[in-house]
Amino acid sequence: MLTISIMIACGMVLIALILNSWRLVVGPNTPDRIIAVDTMYINSIALILLLGMYRGSPLYFEGALLIALLGFISTSAFCKYLLRGDIVE
């Protein structure tokens, strides 16, 4: 049962990813695109976790952790760029 749930969940996350990429493509503004990418980061975390569960391997955890950490930094850098241009002034 868990396997099936994982697969269904996986499918849903993939649909979510596709939807996000639609937002990424159409925009219309740069902030819209940033949210789209940010959300995709988080979806990727889910995808990696699901992959780990599916394969029964704990090796993927760090990947998820890093995406969480780095995705945030990347998003804040993009926002900072829009706000001030210079991100480490």
Residues 69-88 within binding reach of other proteins (CB under 8 A): 69-88
Scanning residues 13 to 72, which ones bind other proteins (CB under 8 A)?
Answer: 13-25, 27, 29-53, 55-72
Supply the minimum distance, in Å, between the C-beta of residue 86 and other proteins. Answer: 5
Structure tokens that stand for 30 in this block: 């740069």
Helix (H) or strand (E) holding 48: helix 30-55
**Longest Cα–Cα distance in the chain:** 53
Supply the minimum distance, in Å, between the C-beta of residue 47 and other proteins. Answer: 7
Q: In 10 A of CB 67, how many CB atoms?
A: 19
DSSP letters for 32-43: HHHHHHHHHHHH
Supply the minimum distance, in Å, between the C-beta of residue 18 and other proteins. Answer: 7
